[in-house]
Amino acid sequence: MKMQDRATVMLEALPYIQEFHGKTILIKLGGGVMEKEKLLDSLLRDIVFLNNVGMKIVIVHGGGPEVSEEMRKLGKKPKFVEGLRVTDEETMEILHEQLAGKLNKEIVLGINKHGGRAVGISGMDGNFIRAHKLRYKTTTSKGREVEVDLGFVGEVEQINPTVINYLVGTGYIPVIAPIGIDGEGHSLNINADIVAAELAAAMHAKKLILLTNVAGVMRDPNDEKTLISVLTVDEAQKLIQEGVVKKGMIPKIEACLRAMQGGVERCHILNGTTPHVILLEILTKGGVGTMIERGK
Amino acid sequence: MKMQDRATVMLEALPYIQEFHGKTILIKLGGGVMEKEKLLDSLLRDIVFLNNVGMKIVIVHGGGPEVSEEMRKLGKKPKFVEGLRVTDEETMEILHEQLAGKLNKEIVLGINKHGGRAVGISGMDGNFIRAHKLRYKTTTSKGREVEVDLGFVGEVEQINPTVINYLVGTGYIPVIAPIGIDGEGHSLNINADIVAAELAAAMHAKKLILLTNVAGVMRDPNDEKTLISVLTVDEAQKLIQEGVVKKGMIPKIEACLRAMQGGVERCHILNGTTPHVILLEILTKGGVGTMIERGK
Amino acid sequence: MKMQDRATVMLEALPYIQEFHGKTILIKLGGGVMEKEKLLDSLLRDIVFLNNVGMKIVIVHGGGPEVSEEMRKLGKKPKFVEGLRVTDEETMEILHEQLAGKLNKEIVLGINKHGGRAVGISGMDGNFIRAHKLRYKTTTSKGREVEVDLGFVGEVEQINPTVINYLVGTGYIPVIAPIGIDGEGHSLNINADIVAAELAAAMHAKKLILLTNVAGVMRDPNDEKTLISVLTVDEAQKLIQEGVVKKGMIPKIEACLRAMQGGVERCHILNGTTPHVILLEILTKGGVGTMIERGK
Amino acid sequence: MKMQDRATVMLEALPYIQEFHGKTILIKLGGGVMEKEKLLDSLLRDIVFLNNVGMKIVIVHGGGPEVSEEMRKLGKKPKFVEGLRVTDEETMEILHEQLAGKLNKEIVLGINKHGGRAVGISGMDGNFIRAHKLRYKTTTSKGREVEVDLGFVGEVEQINPTVINYLVGTGYIPVIAPIGIDGEGHSLNINADIVAAELAAAMHAKKLILLTNVAGVMRDPNDEKTLISVLTVDEAQKLIQEGVVKKGMIPKIEACLRAMQGGVERCHILNGTTPHVILLEILTKGGVGTMIERGK
Amino acid sequence: MKMQDRATVMLEALPYIQEFHGKTILIKLGGGVMEKEKLLDSLLRDIVFLNNVGMKIVIVHGGGPEVSEEMRKLGKKPKFVEGLRVTDEETMEILHEQLAGKLNKEIVLGINKHGGRAVGISGMDGNFIRAHKLRYKTTTSKGREVEVDLGFVGEVEQINPTVINYLVGTGYIPVIAPIGIDGEGHSLNINADIVAAELAAAMHAKKLILLTNVAGVMRDPNDEKTLISVLTVDEAQKLIQEGVVKKGMIPKIEACLRAMQGGVERCHILNGTTPHVILLEILTKGGVGTMIERGK
Amino acid sequence: MKMQDRATVMLEALPYIQEFHGKTILIKLGGGVMEKEKLLDSLLRDIVFLNNVGMKIVIVHGGGPEVSEEMRKLGKKPKFVEGLRVTDEETMEILHEQLAGKLNKEIVLGINKHGGRAVGISGMDGNFIRAHKLRYKTTTSKGREVEVDLGFVGEVEQINPTVINYLVGTGYIPVIAPIGIDGEGHSLNINADIVAAELAAAMHAKKLILLTNVAGVMRDPNDEKTLISVLTVDEAQKLIQEGVVKKGMIPKIEACLRAMQGGVERCHILNGTTPHVILLEILTKGGVGTMIERGK
């Protein structure tokens, strides 16, 4: 490429760099990104770039597939109730090892490799994600409401972002494993989308980005042409009520709505497997995936 | 116990509380302490106590037995060369899971349960322990010096304690897994005693405490009556040279000497399985274990 | 005592040390404590202990008996109107000498001797206790309300705790003589209980402790068995209205009520001559004396 | 251009953005750049870009041609002695108007237009460039050394960069007119290259960039093919001594040498009329112009 | 003068020095003061004195006569519409040169000469005075309202005093040329009295002083005996409505009213040509000129 | 006096106000000043003035006459050994009362009355003047050196001016009673001139002013015409050696020499009973008393 064209490309990013300077952007890593080494590496480099041109980046990561795989290795069958992982003591130990240990540090190493400075912690550290056991209720086929014991599955009670704020304020990129802690010092497994949304709210983030393995919110999940580029909060709620949005997408949209209710400006649901998807979403004119905004 | 006696006990601790107020004490957890749940719980409560009466506490933990056990579970045989664990890629993954994941968070949870505020990180986080691969040399039976490839085993290059200083300065107890990072973003397995010693030096700690499973430095390892209560730096060096100190104790004493050369005032080698050993060592007149001091 | 028992005693204090960590506790010294050298020495050591395990301590001291004694020495008869000392110019000079001079520095020396760092000042210093002359009214035997000139007796107008906050924030223990200053630069004699209560309110103290020479609030002042351990604000007010509480105890309870109205959480009326009374009240389960709390 | 190519261009700049993050870069605007509106606009946008991706930028500007033109407009003939402008009182007034007034604010407006935040001041402001009258000596044709009165031409005595440091530290871009002040409050005209060099030294800048209207240092000024890409300090000094470098280029190289002696890492002499010359020099692999470095 | 009398004079200023210690006083220089070199010098020395005894001084200066004179020199006729200067591009250039260049730096030099530390900037710098083009409407002789294009004449939109606060907070005296900047980076000519008033409001100044060339507000502009010493806000508004105050004085009073509405405590309209008028107004009992105060 | 003359007087003080702005001036009150109410009041107002125009003032006061008088009142005979007060326990109590109590607070009240903000403390407070018992040796008539027990008379060991620096840094005027504290918490009586000199050195004061009841250093103490206006350090030492300076003046000059050795710039010995002596010395051209300076 010619030198002058290089300059042109960079300068076209200037307004976006200015807009997001010093702003907090919370990125939920997931959607199969973490299983693909090259993809993750590329993604983390993009994140380091955004951090280095002035944005405050916080990463929350999931790790469901790795945990399930590890369970199967150990001869244990993963069990889910409506998408929530039933978490007995042994499973929790695996979560500590896989989420707070293996995956968390893998992301940290990937960021540091590209010249970023990541610090990996979990919600247990410094008690920063206070949680309590989720009292999960469901309705039996006979219409009776019953409580199902999901084990050590938690619900966010309160987030104290002091340490996280210190870290982003001094240029670090916090990488957070979604495990909370209760008042007695027990760890609890929490949905990563929810942790990302709650933390985005607690930090008054400007943007929450949820990476998935689909193009965004689609009217017909099998037809990418039905992708909805922009949704207002009201429209998003309506899509859920009318049943247009289904299954796995529902909790993601609900996480976005929670974040926006907490003051986050915009939420994005993007396909993490598209190369440079975050970089392009933030630094170029063309939007990708689905953006949820406050609406008029 | 009578109320007045309670007051007396507390007041006798006053001079020690004053002496160590605001001072940094680096504690290396090891020596089988971590395998015994009750012991660990009691120890962590003592640590929270010391922190709450004004000391800055930093914990570095090992975890050798747990790692070996996990390796065996996965059908992998732990291999050591003169006490150093040969660390291939798979072993490193286990270290991430067991040290940075399971054990680190277990200690964090234990501290938080007693009202402390622990933050668990590793030397990879924020690149805070810079290391390079250890070039390990040994002498063959024929007297030739050869280099042995120990895999991802590291040597501390530089420690940047900024984040750790922030944490202790705001009342947190950092809990550190001894894994370093090299310039290319690879993790390296480092001996926990060495990490503790180097960090103590980098933080200008007042005390370094190494917990082991023996009473301290003994002239005859099988006879507790030969325990040496106080050693000067010179005496310690002589004991090594003369071959009085053997095997597992040598690296511990060397770690102490390294710490003292870096400015640490006193080092202690204590039996971690003695109840309340740290509390009593720091807050009462009677010393236990072996103390290494600068000498006249 | 056995070493392990020592550890147990200390650890039982842990929850209380945590509860009051960084909190401000205002202690009014009085009730004959200051006349007894040994008692005072022991009390000040306890106070240094509390300070050293993390509490912010502020002391306000009285000194009535010493002042009266000095007056008698100089051939001057102390005069009181309903417990308030009539203060002419000469008496005020004696107050400067005895309160701000002799007693204040005696307490400072006692604290410093035990390794604390006390700074003794009065409400005149830095104009920190603004006051005006008390316009004292009483009712004659014929039922007419008349104003009695008590001389330089003051009423707190405003407290500016900036310097005191600086001192406690940097680890000092301020020791305060209860003499205020008016807009023209005249000093005024103020009741020490009131100064303690107002200062506790101005500093948002967690606790106000008034040391007296009786066990606490008693239904029958001659019968310690009628001691009331816990009083709500409402109950305390009722006790005064119903005339159960008498004479010297009324201003103490009123001081407590004033403090609590200003945001102080709990007030204690304790017998200062009981050995280690403050240490035991704060650091052990068993309460002594009378505690006034907000009530449901 | 394809989206992915855009990402590639940006990511290739990442190592340079990291290298210069938080570093001070001092840019001397000159060389005819300021006369060409479009060129200046483009240059200032590049500068805003560099500032927005994390660099601290300070601008020193000249303005010789504008000053001379204004003088001619007012019927006054510019006079120079070996490149130094003879500055009488009237000329100084024109300098105030043209440099500190017109040109300075033109640059400020240009930066602010692109979203930067410039603050334009001169060395008179806050007394920040202390100077004294230059005692200029020259040699007559008969070999006698005589002093020539150049009027209000100054020599830097001391630079106090406190305000400038504050400005760059809070994200502003200081734009500085090269007029100093003496101890009696008189303003003095100082060579802009020298001001840039001295300020770069006083601020411990990482880079000093002098914009000229030629490609860089050339062995044959008429042949761009003789451009020297890299010069060590020693080589630069030799080039001057051997007379290879001539006239206008000598003071520029001397300014660079002065800056490097004061601790600046690298100096660049670039052609300011090449589009995006600074952006490309700093953010891409390919160097342009002449770079002076410390040498081995 | 006798030494003791000197002491007396100084001590009589003490209450005023105490009253204005650390307070912000905004002074609008104008009214012909700037044309008279000696007068300006004396005035600036007084200002340095006030600054040195503890007041925070901010100066806003006009410069109408100088601008007009310069225009005439360049063969351009100044044009005004109801006191507002019609400002085409060429005039704006002259404003940059004369206001931001010549006059601003003249004041800066004058202050620095007397040992003060002035920093001269304009409202363009750091975008600190945001403005937009004034949409000026007038009524034709036929009673039709028409909009008149005054060119680059601006109206204050928002003032961000961060840099100014930094400067006064560190002991500098900011000297401000009344030129604002719009969102596109164009400069706009704004009335200096208005800038002074708006800035006084934005900085919560204690006093705004407008220097004019008349004694103050007079019922009969030709008779100094009709000077009004004190005006309340209400009275001032009434004087305008009733037509007592005329022409040039109206915008000055309106500026004062604007400042007071923004929280400024008192405004003064003084004759700048009276020697030491500001010093005497602030530091002695006797008031001069007209003071506008809030009224009961 | 005419208004303009008032301005002239104030402006003549400007260079001195600038010179001493933010500088620390340590004033030792003594020499009979404190016995004369009006004189003291006037002096304290002058001190408040100096403080309010920007100087940092610290006061150390003596109080010998008051202490002796009080002793006599209590039927106790003051005893001196070569000017040092023999201090038994009872005398020390009187010192606490008279110095730290009565006199200290009298000065505090006097300053506060004039709008200053004084904080009165002693060297015991915060342990800020560490001292040990003076081992006083003298020579008997038979030429034998013997140690004389002076009781609780101290010698400065170390001064920690942290609290004093905080106070002057926030605008307070510290007023210090010259009583030190030893390592065991006993108070010690120290010469006020020495305390002033040591504190001036510890604070890097610019000036030390010792107020006495004579005009300064005189060749013939009975002839004011022999007053020496300026002395270098060398000259001062010579005057002592040659016996020109006698008795009471010797310790004053030695205190000055001690201060200057510690970095104080200039010391003054002034007659405190001359009205406004400090104000005139600092703010006018004419010097009074004796100034000791470093010499060439």
Distance, in Å, from the CA atom of F32 to the CA atom of F273, rounded to the nearest integer, reads 8
CA distance C276 to chain B (A): 7
Tell me the pLDDT band of D227, cut-offs 50, 70 and 90. very high
| Inter-chain touch E99–D97, beta carbons under 8 Å | no
> pTM here?
0.92
Distance from the first to the final alpha carbon of chain F: 42
Half-sphere exposure of D165 (CA within 13 A, CB side): 12
Give chain F positions within 8 Å (CB) of E284: 3, 6
CB C25 within 8 A of CB C58: yes
Catalytic entry in E56, E206, E207, E252 = E252
Catalytic entry in E63, E151, E193, E272 = E193
| Inter-chain touch E121–D124, beta carbons under 8 Å | no
Distance, in Å, from the CA atom of A287 to the CA atom of A277, rounded to the nearest integer, reads 9
How high is the mean pLDDT of chain C?
A: 93
Catalytic entry in F62, F180, F252, F272 = F252
Query: What's the one-letter identity of residue D273?
Result: T
Phi, psi torsion values for D285, nearest 5 degrees = -70, -40
Positive or negative, the CA dihedral D164, D165, D168, D169 is negative
Positions of E strands within B10-140: 24-29, 56-61, 80-81, 84-85, 118-122, 129-133, 136-139
Distance, in Å, from the CA atom of A280 to the CA atom of A286, rounded to the nearest integer, reads 8
Phi, psi torsion values for C22, nearest 5 degrees = 75, 5
- Interface probe for D, chosen from E105, E124, E170, E188 (most Cβ of D below 10 Å), is E105
The confidence score (pLDDT) of residue E1 equals 66
The confidence score (pLDDT) of residue B33 equals 84
- Between strands D173-177 and D118-122, the pairing is parallel
Distance, in Å, from the CA atom of B20 to the CA atom of B25, rounded to the nearest integer, reads 9
Distance, in Å, from the CA atom of B279 to the CA atom of B290, rounded to the nearest integer, reads 15
User: 10 Å Cβ neighbour count for D275?
Assistant: 15
Give chain C positions within 8 Å (CB) of F185: 109-110, 112-114
Positive or negative, the CA dihedral A243, A245, A250, A253 is negative
Rounded (5°) CA angle B30-B33-B39: 150
| Inter-chain touch D5–A1, beta carbons under 8 Å | yes
Distance from the first to the final alpha carbon of chain B: 42
The confidence score (pLDDT) of residue D35 equals 79
Catalytic entry in B31, B110, B272, B289 = B31
Chains D and F touch (3+ CB pairs under 8 A): no
Catalytic residues of C: 28, 31, 64, 193, 252
Lowest mean pLDDT among D286-290, E7-11, E234-238: D286-290
CB F101 within 8 A of CB C102: yes
Domains of chain C: 14-293 (3.40.1160.10)
Which residues touch C100 (CB under 8 Å, ≥6 apart)?
C120, C122, C124, C177, C179, F100, F101, F104, F105, F120
- Both tokens of residue B154? 């590291």
Is the pLDDT score of D1 beyond 80? no
Selecting from E104, E162, E187 the residue whose C-beta is nearest the C-beta of D109 gives E187
- Both tokens of residue F264? 């104080």
| Inter-chain touch D4–A275, beta carbons under 8 Å | yes
The confidence score (pLDDT) of residue B5 equals 86
ipTM topping 0.95: no
Dihedral over alpha carbons D277, D282, D287, D293 (to 10 degrees): 120
Is the pLDDT score of E121 beyond 90? yes
Is the pLDDT score of D31 beyond 70? no
The confidence score (pLDDT) of residue F200 equals 98
- Interface probe for B, chosen from C1, C2, C6 (most Cβ of B below 10 Å), is C6
- Which DSSP letter does residue A121 get? E
Please name the residue ranges forming H helices in chain F.
3-12, 14-19, 37-52, 64-73, 89-95, 104-113, 162-169, 192-202, 233-241, 249-261, 277-283
Tell me the pLDDT band of B3, cut-offs 50, 70 and 90. confident
The confidence score (pLDDT) of residue F13 equals 93
If you average pLDDT over residues B223-241, what whole number do you get?
93
Selecting from C15, C115, C275 the residue whose C-beta is nearest the C-beta of B18 gives C115
Tell me the pLDDT band of F48, cut-offs 50, 70 and 90. very high
What is the SS3 assignment for C271? strand
Which residues touch E155 (CB under 8 Å, ≥6 apart)?
E131, E132, E133, E134, E190
If you average pLDDT over residues F224-236, what whole number do you get?
94
Task: Report pLDDT digits (tens) over A124-171.
Answer: 999 999 999 998 888 888 888 888 899 999 999 999 999 999 999 999
Which residues touch F208 (CB under 8 Å, ≥6 apart)?
F25, F26, F28, F196, F197, F200, F255, F256, F259, F264, F266, F267, F268
The confidence score (pLDDT) of residue D196 equals 98
Rounded (5°) CA angle E185-E188-E191: 150
How high is the mean pLDDT of chain D?
A: 93
CA distance F109 to chain C (A): 5
Distance, in Å, from the CA atom of E242 to the CA atom of E246, rounded to the nearest integer, reads 10
Any catalytic annotation for residue B185? Answer: no
The confidence score (pLDDT) of residue B256 equals 97
CB C131 within 8 A of CB C125: no
| Inter-chain touch F110–C184, beta carbons under 8 Å | no
What does the H/E/C string look like for chain E? Answer: CCHHHHHHHHHHHHHHHHHCCCCEEEEEECCCCCCCHHHHHHHHHHHHHHHHCCCEEEEEECCHHHHHHHHHHCCCCCCEECCEECECHHHHHHHHHHHHHHHHHHHHHHHHHCCCCEEEEECCHHHCEEEEECCEEEECCCCCEEEECCECEEEEEEECCHHHHHHHHCCCEEEEECEEECCCCCEEECCHHHHHHHHHHHCCCCEEEEEECCCCCECCCCCHHHECCEEEHHHHHHHHHCCCCCCCHHHHHHHHHHHHHCCCCEEEEEECCCCCHHHHHHHCCCCCCEEEECCC
If you average pLDDT over residues D118-140, what whole number do you get?
94
Tokens 């901010």 locate to E58
CA distance F78 to chain E (A): 38
Distance, in Å, from the CA atom of A30 to the CA atom of A60, rounded to the nearest integer, reads 9
The confidence score (pLDDT) of residue B31 equals 67
CA distance D112 to chain A (A): 12
If you average pLDDT over residues D100-107, what whole number do you get?
96
The confidence score (pLDDT) of residue A31 equals 67
How high is the mean pLDDT of chain B?
A: 93
Selecting from F97, F106, F108 the residue whose C-beta is nearest the C-beta of C125 gives F108
If you average pLDDT over residues B188-200, what whole number do you get?
97
* DSSP-derived secondary structure for B50-70: HHHTT-EEEEEE--HHHHHHH
Is the pLDDT score of E205 beyond 70? yes
Catalytic entry in B193, B206, B272, B289 = B193
Q: Which of B157, B188, B192, B155 is nearest to B176 (CA)?
A: B192
Most confident segment among B248-262, C281-295, F130-144 = B248-262
CB D178 within 8 A of CB D172: no
If you average pLDDT over residues E271-285, what whole number do you get?
92
Tell me the pLDDT band of C1, cut-offs 50, 70 and 90. low
Q: Which of E93, E48, E49, E38 is nearest to E70 (CA)?
A: E93
| Inter-chain touch D113–E185, beta carbons under 8 Å | yes
The confidence score (pLDDT) of residue F1 equals 66
Interface residues of E toward D, Cβ cutoff 8 Å, are 93, 96-102, 104-106, 108-110, 112-114, 117-122, 124-127, 162-163, 166-167, 170, 172, 179, 181, 184-187
- Interface probe for C, chosen from F90, F106, F112 (most Cβ of C below 10 Å), is F112
- Both tokens of residue A58? 């916080």
The confidence score (pLDDT) of residue E3 equals 77
Task: Report pLDDT digits (tens) over D194-225.
Answer: 999 999 999 999 999 999 989 999 998 889 89
The confidence score (pLDDT) of residue C246 equals 81
Check residues F35 and C296 and name the one with the higher pLDDT: F35
Q: Which of A214, A193, A191, A200 is nearest to A289 (CA)?
A: A214
Is the pLDDT score of A286 beyond 80? no
User: Exposed, middle or buried, C77 (CB in 10 Å: 0-12/13-18/19+)?
Assistant: exposed
If you average pLDDT over residues C177-187, what whole number do you get?
95
Q: How far is CA E144 from CA B54, C153, E86, E151, F253, in A?
A: 80, 75, 21, 21, 87
The alpha carbon of residue D268 and the mean position of all alpha carbons in its chain are separated, in whole angstroms, by 10
The confidence score (pLDDT) of residue D130 equals 97
Phi, psi torsion values for E236, nearest 5 degrees = -65, -45
Which residues touch D143 (CB under 8 Å, ≥6 apart)?
none
Half-sphere exposure of C216 (CA within 13 A, CB side): 23
Instruction: Give the whole-number percent of chain A exceeding pLDDT 70.
Output: 99
If you average pLDDT over residues C205-210, what whole number do you get?
97
Selecting from F125, F170, F185 the residue whose C-beta is nearest the C-beta of C119 gives F125
Give chain C positions within 8 Å (CB) of B11: 45-46, 49, 279
Name beta bridge partners: F60: F28, F176
Is the pLDDT score of A1 beyond 70? no
Distance, in Å, from the CA atom of B233 to the CA atom of D12, rounded to the nearest integer, reads 53
Distance, in Å, from the CA atom of F99 to the CA atom of B139, rounded to the nearest integer, reads 78
Task: Report pLDDT digits (tens) over A98-125.
Answer: 999 999 999 999 999 999 999 999 999 9
Minimal-distance CA residue of chain F relative to C91: F102
Is the pLDDT score of B286 beyond 80? no
Distance, in Å, from the CA atom of C252 to the CA atom of C272, rounded to the nearest integer, reads 14
- Which DSSP letter does residue A214 get? S
CA distance D273 to chain A (A): 13
The confidence score (pLDDT) of residue D14 equals 94
CA distance F22 to chain C (A): 20
Tell me the pLDDT band of B4, cut-offs 50, 70 and 90. confident
Selecting from E113, E125, E186 the residue whose C-beta is nearest the C-beta of D120 gives E125
| Inter-chain touch B14–C284, beta carbons under 8 Å | no
Tell me the pLDDT band of C31, cut-offs 50, 70 and 90. low
The alpha carbon of residue E10 and the mean position of all alpha carbons in its chain are separated, in whole angstroms, by 28
CB C163 within 8 A of CB C128: yes
Strand (E) or helix (H) holding A137:
strand A136-139
User: Exposed, middle or buried, A265 (CB in 10 Å: 0-12/13-18/19+)?
Assistant: middle
- Interface probe for C, chosen from B2, B6, B39 (most Cβ of C below 10 Å), is B6
Is the pLDDT score of C74 beyond 90? no
- Between strands D290-293 and D187-189, the pairing is unpaired
- Both tokens of residue F162? 């942290």
The confidence score (pLDDT) of residue A121 equals 97
User: 10 Å Cβ neighbour count for C145?
Assistant: 8
Selecting from B102, B125, B186 the residue whose C-beta is nearest the C-beta of A118 gives B125
- Both tokens of residue E236? 């001032």
Tell me the pLDDT band of F261, cut-offs 50, 70 and 90. very high
- Interface probe for A, chosen from D53, D270, D283, D285 (most Cβ of A below 10 Å), is D53
| Inter-chain touch F45–E279, beta carbons under 8 Å | no
